[in-house]
Chain A
Amino acid sequence: MSKEKSAKFDSTRRSVLKSLGVVTGAGAAAQLAPGVLRYAHGSAEPIKIGMQLHRTGIGASYGRWYERVTMAAVKIINDEGGINGRPVEVIIEDDGTDPKRGAEVVEKFATLHKVDIAYGTLFSHVVIGSSPRAGELKLPYFVVSEGHHVASGRLNRYVFQPGITDVKSQVISMAPWISDNLGKKVTMIFPDFAFGHDHRDYFSAAIKKQGGEVLELIPIPPTESSFTRYFPRIPAATEVLYHVMVGPGVLTFVKELGQHFGSNRPEIFGFIDSLEAVDLATPQLEFLEGTYFWEGNPRYAQPNQTEYDKFYREKVGVDDNGASLSDAKDTSTYAHMFGCWETLFIIKQAMELSGYQGRTAADKQGLIEAMESLSTFEEGRDHPQGKKIFNGKIHQSFGHQYISRVQGGRLNVTHTTSIEDGLYEPEADYTRMPL
């Protein structure tokens, strides 16, 4: 009896192992198949873009939209013949919005998927965690992050941020407007990691330059889920409350802010990050009426909407209120995701400029030098957010910022900064680093 039983168990284990083997083999074959098929059809080998995506973790709502925008832009690029006659293929790996996994994903891109470039990261701690590995692997790495870490020179020559402006530029361009229109005594609420620290450091400095002062700094851990307990630290003398929040708790944050203040509130200036992917018409957000937001790109279609914004909106599947065309409750991360679109077209431009052919050291060097030689991106279909000036020394773009006011439950742009408002002295020069 027992013998029979153990024999049965053995055979089960063996068959399990066997079927496991079959599955693994099939998986490997499936991975190989597309490439093999392409060769068979005689078309060019694709340019592989490894997209480091926040599909899960605290950046998931951004990730969902970064993916949609990327796919829409890549479709246009491929429909128009690809890059240097080769189609573009996007390979997605989820980093869980986690810096440690971010570095592993970069490694996987370089060694397993053998991609041409890595791209698409938003959260600054993931960028900072992944960049050193990208540099060591000599893998060009294009981020869409807003953090000042690229421009600060603390990363390496392989990391670029051409499609979106950085926090330092954003806050110095808006500080004069805030101090002139809202007040000079500011209290700041920000997430307690690299991105929030950029806000803390550069906005504090910028408002001081305008003759203002920061009364209190209130850092909040990015995984926090309850915020009321932080609000008593807002001094009564505060004229402007400056808030920027990220993660799954953003809606709770603004709701609790409303409960705390009611109608008796100071002026409020927020980064739209505090409300990205959240519908402005959500109950209890009425108190935001009359407050101001920074927007990287206006969520609601404005009266002076350009044809480029119209085209872009349609292609990424977003309606005039910034929500998904297929689900009005699915609000986009409109203020950030244009960066993916623009970055992809910049990559195409640089690859065509350098005559990029494949994953050789010379081709990669050529791509990086071509990137560093770029200086202006004119507003157009490829750059629907507006014109940008690119500084090749610090691998960073500079552009317009939008200040919008909540009026009648929508965001209306009331002020647009000039590109010059956001320029600052470069703090580094990546072009001097060896390749």
Chain B
Amino acid sequence: MDFGPYLFLASLEGLVQAAVLSLTALGLSLVFGVMRVVNVGHGEFYMLGAVLAWWITSLISIHPAAGFLIALVLSPVLVGVVAYAADRLILSRLDYNPEATIVATIGMLYVLQQLALIYFGPDARPVEAPFYFRVQFPWFGYSGYKLIVVVAATGLLLASWFVIARTRVGLIMRATQFDGEMARALGIPVRRVYSLVFVVGAMFAAVAAVLIVPIRQAHYLMGLDPLLLSFIVVIIGGLGSIRGTIVAATIIGMSDGIISVFFSPTLAKMVSTFLVALVLIVRPEGLFGAKIR
């Protein structure tokens, strides 16, 4: 394949990767930014989203598009319920202590993963895409659904930016992030904000997973990759910075796509890990992160 189309295909793949990664990493970043909780179990919310999407679509045997849309709504809600339970039963009882919550979320990772293995089984399960068309470029064909994933993810990111930057709920979240104690003193129910943020963070991962599952299939071990990539993105972008998360996800997603196509996926992973090391040395707060006060 010539260089031009080659680069074009690589960029398309990178865009899909970046779109899904932005959503997943945004969830992780929100949770850290507002709650100061490093959620190591974040990838399992992603896995759970995909697995539930398979379960929902296999339960209802109507048109695949309708089944998929129901899953797109229902699966994140169910994941949100699980996250709410985890917040109430585990995180809040640890007083959101940063060290204790890391250990607790590692535990959650294994519990969720093994529960999925027990009840869902070890097989990869396909979910049918809501629609299927092939975009035929002069040099190669491409899945139309993948392009829709990019559009949908961009829409969701814009919507979440609007909520955080322009609405009262967003204002309360930002206030809690900026200074939790002051927010409490001003009458903001910080605990409830924490619960809300944890649920929303998990739902972001679940939505990303439902969008990707018709492309990649649901599997109980699928949470690991997005977790690592999300951490990479969040470290580069700056923990807690939403703008940073989106910029970093785009950089990592695109470079991953392009380097994977031109060289090898292993080199792409090496480059992103190298970037993390570089950022940690040169600018530990991340590209857009605020200096720690």
Residues on A lying within 8 angstroms of B by beta carbon are: 55-57, 60-61, 63-64, 221, 224-226, 228-232, 236, 248-249, 251-252, 256, 259-262, 277, 282-284
- On whether A251 and B140 interact (CB within 8 A), knowing A226-B216, A229-B260, A229-B265, the answer reads no
Contact A252 B141 (CB under 8 A): no
Which residues of chain A are near B122, meaning CB under 8 Å?
A: 55-57, 60-61, 63
Q: In the complex, identify which listed stretch (B150-158, B174-182, B200-208, B217-225) lies at the interface while the others stay far away.
A: B217-225
Which listed residue (B128, B219, B225, B257) contacts A229, Cβ 8 A? B257
Q: CA A323 – CA B9 in complex, angstroms?
A: 37
The smallest C-beta distance from B5 to any residue of chain A, in angstroms, reads: 8
The smallest C-beta distance from B61 to any residue of chain A, in angstroms, reads: 12
Contact B123 A248 (CB under 8 A): yes
Cβ-Cβ contact count across A and B, 8 Å cutoff: 76
Contact A229 B10 (CB under 8 A): yes
- How many B residues are at the interface, by size bracket? 20 to 34
**B residues 74-127 in Cβ contact with A at 8 Å:** 117, 121-124, 126
Which residues of chain B are near A56, meaning CB under 8 Å?
A: 117, 122
Q: Closest 6 CB pairs between A and B?
A: A248-B124, A60-B122, A56-B122, A229-B261, A262-B141, A232-B1
Residues on B lying within 8 angstroms of A by beta carbon are: 1, 5-6, 9-10, 13, 17, 117, 121-124, 126, 128, 132, 134, 136, 140-143, 215-217, 219, 221-222, 225, 257, 260-261, 265-266
Contact A226 B215 (CB under 8 A): yes
Contact B124 A251 (CB under 8 A): yes
Contact B141 A261 (CB under 8 A): yes
Q: CA A236 – CA B123 in complex, angstroms?
A: 35
Contact B9 A283 (CB under 8 A): no
Which listed residue (B1, B117, B134, B257) contacts A259, Cβ 8 A? B134
Contact B265 A262 (CB under 8 A): no
Contact A248 B143 (CB under 8 A): no
Chain B interface helix/strand/loop/mixed:
mixed
Contact A249 B217 (CB under 8 A): yes
The smallest C-beta distance from B261 to any residue of chain A, in angstroms, reads: 4
Residue from B122, B143, B217 with most neighbouring chain A CB atoms (10 Å): B122
Q: CA A114 – CA B142 in complex, angstroms?
A: 55
Q: CA A262 – CA B132 in complex, angstroms?
A: 13
Contact A225 B140 (CB under 8 A): no
Contact A252 B260 (CB under 8 A): no
Contact A256 B257 (CB under 8 A): no
- On whether A259 and B265 interact (CB within 8 A), knowing A57-B122, A229-B260, the answer reads no
The smallest C-beta distance from A15 to any residue of chain B, in angstroms, reads: 23
The smallest C-beta distance from B217 to any residue of chain A, in angstroms, reads: 6
Q: CA A55 – CA B122 in complex, angstroms?
A: 7
Which residues of chain B are near A260, meaning CB under 8 Å?
A: 140-142
List 17 A-B residue pairs with CB atoms under 8 Å apart, sorted by A's residue number.
Answer: A57-B221, A60-B122, A61-B123, A61-B124, A63-B122, A64-B123, A221-B265, A229-B9, A232-B1, A232-B9, A248-B123, A248-B217, A251-B126, A251-B217, A252-B215, A252-B216, A259-B143
The smallest C-beta distance from A238 to any residue of chain B, in angstroms, reads: 11
The smallest C-beta distance from B268 to any residue of chain A, in angstroms, reads: 9
| Given A226-B13, A231-B140, 14 new contacts (CB under 8 A) | A57-B221, A60-B121, A61-B123, A225-B216, A225-B217, A226-B215, A229-B10, A230-B261, A232-B9, A259-B134, A259-B143, A260-B141, A262-B141, A283-B132
Which listed residue (B123, B136, B222) contacts A60, Cβ 8 A? B123
The smallest C-beta distance from A372 to any residue of chain B, in angstroms, reads: 36
Which residues of chain B are near A236, meaning CB under 8 Å?
A: 1
Q: CA A256 – CA B216 in complex, angstroms?
A: 10
Q: CA A90 – CA B122 in complex, angstroms?
A: 22
Q: CA A57 – CA B265 in complex, angstroms?
A: 21
Q: CA A61 – CA B121 in complex, angstroms?
A: 10
Q: CA A221 – CA B128 in complex, angstroms?
A: 25
The smallest C-beta distance from A274 to any residue of chain B, in angstroms, reads: 13
Residue from A225, A260, A283 with most neighbouring chain B CB atoms (10 Å): A225
Contact B13 A228 (CB under 8 A): yes
Q: CA A227 – CA B27 in complex, angstroms?
A: 26
The smallest C-beta distance from A365 to any residue of chain B, in angstroms, reads: 38
The smallest C-beta distance from A264 to any residue of chain B, in angstroms, reads: 8
The smallest C-beta distance from A108 to any residue of chain B, in angstroms, reads: 20
The smallest C-beta distance from B112 to any residue of chain A, in angstroms, reads: 15
Q: CA A346 – CA B26 in complex, angstroms?
A: 57
Q: CA A13 – CA B257 in complex, angstroms?
A: 53
With both beta carbons as reference points, the residue of chain A lying nearest to B141 in the complex is identified as A262
Contact A221 B266 (CB under 8 A): yes
With both beta carbons as reference points, the residue of chain A lying nearest to B142 in the complex is identified as A259
Q: CA A430 – CA B149 in complex, angstroms?
A: 55
With both beta carbons as reference points, the residue of chain A lying nearest to B215 in the complex is identified as A252
With both beta carbons as reference points, the residue of chain A lying nearest to B143 in the complex is identified as A259
With both beta carbons as reference points, the residue of chain B lying nearest to A283 in the complex is identified as B128
- On whether A229 and B140 interact (CB within 8 A), knowing A57-B122, A251-B126, A282-B126, the answer reads no
With both beta carbons as reference points, the residue of chain A lying nearest to B6 in the complex is identified as A232
Which listed residue (A63, A224, A231, A256) contacts B265, Cβ 8 A? A224
Residue from A61, A63, A232 with most neighbouring chain B CB atoms (10 Å): A232
Residue from A55, A226, A228 with most neighbouring chain B CB atoms (10 Å): A228
